[in-house]
Amino acid sequence: MITDVVLRSLKSRSQLIPVDKLLNDCAASRMPEVIAQALTEPIATRIADVCPTGAITTESRVGEAMTLRLDYGKCIGCGRCMDAGDGAVRLAGSFSRCGVSRKELIRTWKINSEAEESNAAFPAVAREAIYGLIGRALNIRQLDPGSCNGCEAEITALTNPYYDLERWGIHFVASPKHADMLLVTGPITSNMAAAARKTYEAVPWPKLVVAVGACGCSAGIFDPCNRASRPTETATIPRNEVIIGPVDSVLPVDGYIPGCPPTPPMLISGILAVLRRRTLER
């Protein structure tokens, strides 16, 4: 019986997803995309009001058009903005803001203007460039100082036959002493802060740190400044003694991958983007 299963598997078509379809793919990520042409002040105000984490905010100045700000680092993909957006917000079909700086996770629009104020262009990395990035194996140590394990489930999927992260010579290792990159998920808790620092110190130079997920980027729903973490809308915001903050509150971060949780394509794109930037800096 086992032999039959093996033979049937060998005869079936390969399910490996081509690298071209992985890069900048946002399938199943639930990340929102703003349609500037359909954006009005009432819609902007409404979607900002329903956002539970403060990822969407508005700013009004005397004599100027209202500005809408979308912070992907805080977005948990709840979909409330899409429900309240009357077509001005939809699911993103592609997503290139993975492995970028914290500042580049923020997008802004002027209401009644089709142009985005800060729309940085991130060129897609060609197949040949990706394969040329890694002159040797890249070893990753995944670190969880306070995650809910949603990101871990997606990271585990990177090693399955559909995504196969090892095709680029990228491997997960058990010891930080063997690692080149730390993939850190979740907010950093007070009980794990010292362990996170010691893990970072154990990684040999040169080393990279990537913050994964909304919690890793901004503390996500665990940030006491977010409405989602308040007992009631009118209650005083308590100081959270358990959560220190996002990854960059304790460790230096080289790149951010948003999402709650980010999908395997977003993780792959982010890891390769950070690696590509480091390679270009040398």
Question: How many structural domains compose the chain?
Answer: 1
Q: Are 99 and 272 in contact (CB under 8 A)?
A: yes
- On the question of pLDDT at 147 being above 50, the answer is yes
Give me the mean pLDDT over the 212-218 stretch. 92
Q: Domain for residue 65, yes or no?
A: no
Could you tell me the CATH number of the domain that includes residue 181? 3.40.50.12280
Q: Domain for residue 87, yes or no?
A: no
Q: What is the DSSP string of 224-248?
A: TTSGGG-SSSSSPPPP-SSEEESGG
Q: Are 70 and 34 in contact (CB under 8 A)?
A: yes
Residue 126: pLDDT band by 50, 70, 90 thresholds? very low
- On the question of pLDDT at 274 being above 70, the answer is yes
Q: Domain for residue 230, yes or no?
A: yes
Phi/psi at 171 (nearest 5 deg)? -130, 150
- On the question of pLDDT at 234 being above 50, the answer is no
Q: Domain for residue 197, yes or no?
A: yes
- The first and second tokens of residue 83, run together, are 């429900």
Q: Domain for residue 6, yes or no?
A: no
| Block residue for tokens 């956002």 | 51
Percent of the chain with pLDDT over 90: 26
Q: Domain for residue 141, yes or no?
A: yes
Q: Domain for residue 92, yes or no?
A: no
Q: Domain for residue 84, yes or no?
A: no
State if pTM tops 0.75: yes
Give the range of the structural domain holding residue 234, as residue numbers without chain letter.
127-281
Q: How far is residue 206's CA from residue 215's CA, in Å, rounded to a whole number? A: 25
Q: Please provide the average confidence, as pLDDT, over all residues in the chain.
A: 80
22-26, 110-114, 181-185, 207-211, range with the lowest pLDDT = 22-26
